[in-house]
Every structure is written in C-alpha cells, then in structure tokens.
Structure 1
Amino acid sequence: MAHRLRPVEHGFVRSAPVRLVFARGIGAPPPAVFRALAEDVAGWAEWFPAVAVARPARGGAGREIRLRGGARFLETVLVTEAPDVYAYRVDVTNTPGVRALAEEWRLVPIGTGTRVQWTFAADGTALFRGALNLARAGLDRAFRDAVTALDRRLTS
C-alpha cells in the first residue's frame, strides 16, 4: 500500500537521521554524467540494475521509479544545478516504515573524469532505520555497479 512521506527540502541530505554516502571516480566528464542523471531519466533502467522503470513525471518536475522487487517511488526533483548537483525527494512510496527520503548526486571534476557522490538520506521507524544501516554494503555494491555501468555507457 502506497503512503505519502513527509516533504523534505534539499538540506535533509545533510541532516537526516540516516545518511548513507557512497563515492566513486569514473572516466566520463561531469556534464555527460549530469545529463544521464537529470535529463535521461528513462535511461536509468539501462545502467542502474535495481531500476526496472524510470520515467519523468509532472513535466520533468518529478520522476516515477519502480525497482526490481516491487518498490515504487513518486519523486519531486529538488535541485538541478548542472553539472554539479542533482537531488530529489520521495513523496509517495509503497516501502513500509519510511517517513522521509531524499537523494543527492554530487559531481566533482577529477582530471577529465568525475567523482560521483551519492547521498541516500532517510528517516523512518526504528526498524526501517536499522534495516537501512544493515543494507549499507548492498547499497554500496549497487551504487558501484550502477556507476561503473553508467561510465561504460558514457565512454564507449
């Protein structure tokens, strides 16, 4: 059953009760990575293995995301500062226990490539927060696999 989450702003990625931060350097330049994140929303399903369906919503002001396994998210885009920051919050989800969720993708040039940093910020029940912390290694692996696939897509 879907439920509405507490609306949070971009600053939540720095103040959330649970913050998971992952980073990796890739060869693709920041503008190309930013375009893949912010402008080619449907393309997420091609390089992020956990994403089954991704599509823009509300004329680009939001996104609809469906993960493999059945989780669904309706999101609002909070920040699009090309080519540095892309952030969004989840407004509605079928994931139990979550009360607020926002994600930020921060891109920093390194030579001709990009340092990609993903912050997953959340609040929820004690059980949800504990489960999220236990899932840290799996989320790190999913991030590394996705960013590696994105890099291959952008540099081949």
Structure 2
Amino acid sequence: MAHLLREMGLDFVETAPVRLVFAREIAAPPERVFRALAEDVPGWTEWFAAVTLARPTSPTLGFARAGGPPSARGREIRLRGGTRFEETVLAAKEPEVYAYRADVTNAPGARALVEEWRLTPAGTGTRVQWTFAADGTAAFRFTLKLARAGLGRAFRDAVTSLDRRLAA
C-alpha cells in the first residue's frame, strides 16, 4: 500500500539517520552524465538494472502539497520487485548536482527519502557520488544498513553501464 513520506529538503542529505554514500570515477564528462540523469529520465531503465520504469511527471504531489509552482518537475520510478516511488526533483544544477525526494512509496517502513547525485570533474571524466539519505522505522533503517553492500554493487554496475552507454 502506498503512503506519503515526510517532505524533506536537500539538507536531509547531510542529516538523515541513514546515509549511504557511494562514488566512482567514469570517463564521460559531467555535462553528459548530468543530461543522462536529469533530462533522459526514461533512459534510466537502459543503464540502471533495478529500474523497470522511469518517467518524468509534472506537477508533483510534493509541490502540490506545498502550493508550489505547477511547472515543478517530478518522476515516477518503479523498481524490480515492485517498489514504486513518486518523486519531486529538488535540485537540477547542471553539471553539478541532481537530487530528488520520494513523496509517495509502497516501501514498508519508509518515512523520508532523498537521493543526491553529485558530479565533479575528474581529469577528462567525472567523479559520480550518489548519496541515499533515508529515515523510517527501526526495521527499515536496519534493513538499509544491511543492504549497503548490495546498493553499492548496484550503483557501481549502473554507473559503469551509464559510462558505456554515453561512450556509444
């Protein structure tokens, strides 16, 4: 059953009870990586194996609840296994940062979730850093901590696949 999450800002990335941070350097330049993250939302299914559906939405539930602008951007995401998210884009600053918060999910125990993709030039390529910031029930937080290795592996595989896709 889907439920509303707390509306968190970008600062939650630094203060969340659970923060999982992963980083990897790839050959693609930051501008191309940013466009793949922020502008080609449907393309996520091509390089992030866990994502089965990704589509932009507007306006989003989060902005609607806050009385925000009707042009606010959001995303609908579905993962392998059936987890779903309705998200609000919090930051899209090319080529440095792309971040979003989950407003609605069917993930049991989740109370707040913000993800940030930070892109830094690394030679001719990019250092991609993904921060997964979350809060929830004790069981949810414990499960996320146990899932750290798997999430790290999923991130590495996804970013490697994205780099190959951008090189093609």
| TM-score class, shorter | over 0.9
TM-score, normalised on structure 2?
0.92
Q: Work out the CA distance in 1 between the residues paired with 2:53 and 2:34.
A: 19
**2:65 alignment partner in structure 1:** none
Q: Work out the CA distance in 1 between the residues paired with 2:56 and 2:100.
A: 12
Pairing of 1:1-156 with structure 2 (within 5 A): 1-58=1-58, 61-156=73-168
Q: Secondary structure at the match of 2:10?
A: coil
- Could you give the per-residue CA deviations for residues 56-113 of structure 1, whole angstroms, max 9, x where no partner exists? 0016600000001100000000001100000000000000000000000000000110
Q: Secondary structure at the match of 2:28?
A: coil
Alpha-carbon distance, 1:34 to partner: 0.0
The alignment-based identity, stated in percent, is 72
For the aligned residue pairs, the C-alpha RMSD in angstroms reads 0.7
Q: Work out the CA distance in 1 between the residues paired with 2:48 and 2:155.
A: 8
Letter in 2 for 1:57: T
Letter in 1 for 2:17: P
TM-score, normalised on structure 1?
0.99
Gaps of 5+ in 2: 60-71
Gaps of 5+ in 1: none
Q: Work out the CA distance in 2 between the residues paired with 1:147 and 1:99.
A: 27
How many positions carry a matched residue from both structures?
A: 156
Q: Secondary structure at the match of 2:134?
A: strand
Q: Secondary structure at the match of 2:31?
A: helix
Letter in 2 for 1:106: R
Letter in 2 for 1:28: A
